[in-house]
Structure 1
Amino acid sequence: MSAHPGPHFLFTLLRGGAPAVATAPAELGDTEGTGGRDDPDGDANALRALRRIQRVEGPATRDDLLLRAARFVALIPLAYRILAVPGAVLAFLSTGPRAGVAVVLAVAGCSVLLSGYGVGWLLRARFRGRTAARLLGLDVVFAVLAHLAVAAAVPPAGLPAAAVVPGKHLLGAIALLTLVLGVGYGATLVLVTLPLRVAMEWVSVGRLDPAAAVDGLGTTVGVLVTATGALLLAGLGTRLALAHGITRGRQVERAAQHRRLHDTVLQTLEAMPLQTDIEKLHRMARTQATELRAAIEADSTGSARPLSEKLTALAAEMARHGLRTQLVIADLTGGTRETGETGETLPEARQAAVRDAVREALRNTIKHAGTDEVLVRVEERDGGIATIIRDHGTGFNPARRPAGYGISESIVGRLAEVGGSATVESAPGSGTRVTLWVPR
């Protein structure tokens, strides 16, 4: 039974502003089949994908990382005011000496200080909390009072140029409310500008002129529409990135599960029919169970061992299958030693990728090389760690070997996922060399 769909994401975004982007749903439709050069139904699939990522299904949770990222959208109107308000002051001063210059300068200074404080607060805090509400409320109150103060101090002849200074602050406030709180708050402030302009006319010339309400209305509405568009683009862009990340994560997880099954259970099942000794079959089953249990426990606890210990344990594991593995780990400071801590500086994901790729290469040696000896060498190379697996077995022609999880996925694919690379060199009668490399 499917979960009951929640509110449409776009409605939530328009109603709640940028913080709604931080509401990460439990389930998101993936982005598979969203179109491309090889997709004949690309446009239709892209539209369907766009509709899917707007659905919210299941319980929604607020993600702190997304919330911290969403706050940066509010920096745009703040930065606009920091630049636009001083520019408006210069334009006002260029019109010639005017009465009320001190008031205009004070309004401009307070506007820049408020915007600068808002930038600093956003960089170290979040949208949530009463502080954000107080700051936004103070910002709106200042925008209203600044208009009235300028109207009272500047003569009517100079008021149009002077009113641009608090007007820039007001435009930023409309965009700020729209982005942070939602379109409803921004639209409300646009409506507040109607009686505000009438009040400015009354303070300046002592008369009420309803026609003054529509002065500059197109500009404020334009800012509201622009901020709404920016909010939608930011929200949908983030939503699409989330959906793509979920799809990619599922693909990587499926590939990892396939490799684990291939490298453990499937390998053991394939080897069992070749054994006639019941005791050896029991040992293989016990070994496989131990490996699976260790992998599950490592995934759940996050415990990690150094790469040297991982490879040493792997050599012991291969010895139980009849393969003698000579393990040589080069000292980073020079020389070689049989055991060491070369891999300690590698992230755990890369260490695990190297270990599992080495295991697959050693199993291929057991199954196909016709030899019971192999050399595994670990050394520093090209700013990373290289692991070379070398045997002098029968070898093969890589061009004629069919692709499969043995090489393309369990070795090459596994290293590629962690930013590394793998090469396989072999020729009939000349053995095989597998070179793995991962960055530090």
Structure 2
Amino acid sequence: MQPPGEKARWTLARGTNFLAALLRQGAPVLASTPRDLPSEVDDEEPVPALRRMGAMAASQVGAPRDPLMIRATRYAVLSPMAYRIFLLPVVWLSMVIAYGPAPVPTVLAWLGIVGNVAGAVWVLRVPDRRGRLNKLLLKVDVGYALVATLLVSVTVPAELYWPGSWIAVVYLTGTVALWTISRGILAGLFLVLSGFAAQCLALWLAPLPSIGSHEIAGVVRGGGLLVVAVVTGAGSLVLLGLATRLALAIGLRLGQGAERARTERALHDTILQALEAIALSSDADDADPRGELTRVRQAALAQANELRRVLQENAASDGLAAELATLATEMARDGLRAELSISDIGDDRLSDARRVAVRDAAREALRNTIKHAGTHEVVVRLEELDGGVAVITRDHGVGYDEGERPAGFGVSESMRARLAEVGGWCRIESQPGRGTRVTMWVPR
């Protein structure tokens, strides 16, 4: 669920380019995940940096926001927090060395340090799904920065005014950067004006003998630092936004490639195999045409069910051994007798990705046995090997010379590439007249 008012703010961003929306609304725009991006963004060929960045900046903000990306945008505020966590102790220590400890600036400095450490821990560890606490903390941060600015001026003696005020200035610059990143450049500029006004008021309230050019120059320096904080925050926001867009573009390209490879494998392992099996001729074609028609229909129905299962791959599994037993039954319908040998390996439950990879690689190995081995029998073993799980198929068919036959799609893509993607491997050993042994291994 999005925070109150978030829907309206997001609607304003629709149809505008990414960079404009990012500068106007801040980090929440980073959560937009477009379905497509300009080709220049992830072009693998050398592209001028300005052209690539321009393509990313001009991409449209119109896609729904991803919940995971929404939560990840909170991490953008860690940079201003880290700035204050490391700089406040330095400013406080320099004041102590030069003028001795002052109670109020010391309390303000260490409250700021502890508060920012707690805020960073909260951002990293506590999920704020509605965003309400995030808004509240941003408002509290502004209040603390402005109160600290005024409190220093009315509590410290004249000689400690400027050293003490630098603690408030450091905190206030962090606040400006924080709001620029979180809510956009307009929010940052508004805080610059508010902070500059607070510094002028603090100077007027300070117990100084007089307000001259030196004092006015100090306020101008503080205001200049606030402007620098806006520029720095906006620059960080732009770089983070462009990096996010580039990562999204690369992820989209890789994801589309992976999905295309998955679809090719699914079609190869189901429909293509079924069509090849149906196309095989046998002596029974003329002797028992009705029986052959029944066999074709059964094969088509079985492959339709298998394709449906591939498209709905989220079903719970009883383990790899159970899947291999189901696979043996499937192969039996095509005339291959698979003898299962299951070693006592304890728990054979693998991650879904590894289980599916080794199971489908085993299916392809058994399909190759049907098509090429010249035998109707194969042994399938499941055993523990090198700290992982191995499925080994062994037939005593005709075999082949590995040096003379190049690996086809089934071996290179459906078996080896599939296993390599999950950290496994496939090894094929075959000799003419001595059959074929295929070892498929995945880590636990």
- The TM-score normalised by the length of structure 1 is 0.86
* 1:354 equivalenced with 2:358 (yes/no): yes
Instruction: State which drifts further: 178-187 or 272-281.
Output: 272-281
Aligned residue type for 2:107: A
What is the one-letter code of the residue matched to 1:219? Answer: L
Quick one: distance in 1 between partners of 2:94 and 2:53? 49
2:412 matched to 1:373?
no
The one of 383, 386, 403 equivalent to 2:390 is 386
Structure 2: how far apart are the matches of 1:175 and 1:124? 22
Partner of 1:339: none
CA distance in 2, matches of 1:87, 1:127: 35
CA deviations over 1:244-302 (Å, ceiling 9, x no partner): 22221211111111122222222222233332523234313422322322441463372
CA deviation digits over 1:353-393, x for unaligned, max 9?
Answer: 22211111111111111222211111011121111111122
- Which residue of 240, 264, 280 maps to 2:270? 264
Partner of 2:104: 103
How many Å separate the matches in 2 of 1:78 and 1:130? 19
User: Would the aligned equivalents of 1:378 and 1:385 in 2 still touch at CA under 8 Å?
Assistant: yes
Structure 2: how far apart are the matches of 1:318 and 1:297?
16
* 1:436, distance to aligned residue in structure 2 (A): 0.3
Q: 2:295 aligned to 269, 283, 294, which one?
A: 283
State the Cα distance separating 1:178 from its structure 2 match: 1.3
Q: In structure 2, the residue corresponding to 1:433 is in which secondary structure? A: strand
Q: Structure 1 pair 151/114, CA: closer, same or farther in 2 (3 Å)? A: same
Tell me what 2:322 maps to: 309
Which of the residues 213, 216, 227 maps onto 2:222?
Answer: 216
Q: How far, CA to CA, are the matches of 2:110 and 2:48 in structure 1?
A: 52
Provide the identity percentage.
41
Map residues 23-422 of structure 1 onto 2, 5 A cutoff: 23-29=32-38, 34-35=43-44, 39=45, 42-43=46-47, 47-48=51-52, 51=55, 55-56=59-60, 59-97=62-100, 101-122=102-123, 123-126=125-128, 128-204=130-206, 205=208, 213-276=219-282, 277=285, 278=289, 279-297=291-309, 299-300=311-312, 302-305=314-317, 306-332=319-345, 343=348, 345-422=349-426
Using the TM superposition, give the Cα deviation of residue 94 of structure 1 relative to its aligned residue in structure 2, in angstroms.
1.2
1:29-69 Cα shifts (integer Å, max 9, x gaps): 5688623xxx4xx2159945861585236x52222211222
**Cα 1:376–1:393 shift into 2, 3 Å:** same
**For residues 289 and 249 of structure 1, do their structure 2 counterparts lie closer, same or farther at Cα, with a shift above 3 Å needed?**
farther
Return closer, same or farther for 1:128/1:142 CA change in 2, 3 Å cut-off: same
Say whether the 8 Å CA contact 1:259–1:409 is kept in structure 2: yes
How many aligned positions are there? 420
Contact kept, 8 Å, 2:402 with 2:430, in 1: the verdict is yes
**Residues 399-438 of structure 1: CA deviation (Å, up to 9, x unaligned):** 3223331210111111122221111111222221111001
Query: Is the Cα–Cα contact under 8 Å of residues 78 and 115 in structure 1 kept in the other structure?
Result: yes
Which deviates the most, 24-33 or 178-187?
24-33
C-alpha distance in 2 between matches for 1:357 and 1:398: 19
Question: C-alpha displacement at 1:317, in angstroms?
Answer: 2.1
Residues 33 and 81 from structure 1, CA distance in 2 versus in 1: closer, same or farther, beyond 3 angstroms?
closer
Q: CA RMSD in A?
A: 2.7
Structure 1 unpaired stretches of 5+? 334-341
Instruction: Describe the shift of the 1:18–1:434 C-alpha distance in structure 2 as closer, same or farther (beyond 3 A).
Output: same
Q: Answer yes or no: is the 8 Å Cα contact 1:82–1:112 preserved in 2.
A: yes
Structure 1 contact 268–284 (Cα < 8 Å) conserved:
no
C-alpha distance after superposition, 1:62-111 (max 9, x if no partner): 2221122221221222232233223222211111347xx22212322332
> Where does structure 2 lack aligned partners over 5 or more consecutive residues?
1-13
1:10 aligns with 2:19: yes
- Preserved contact between residue 27 and residue 181 of structure 2 (Cα < 8 Å): yes
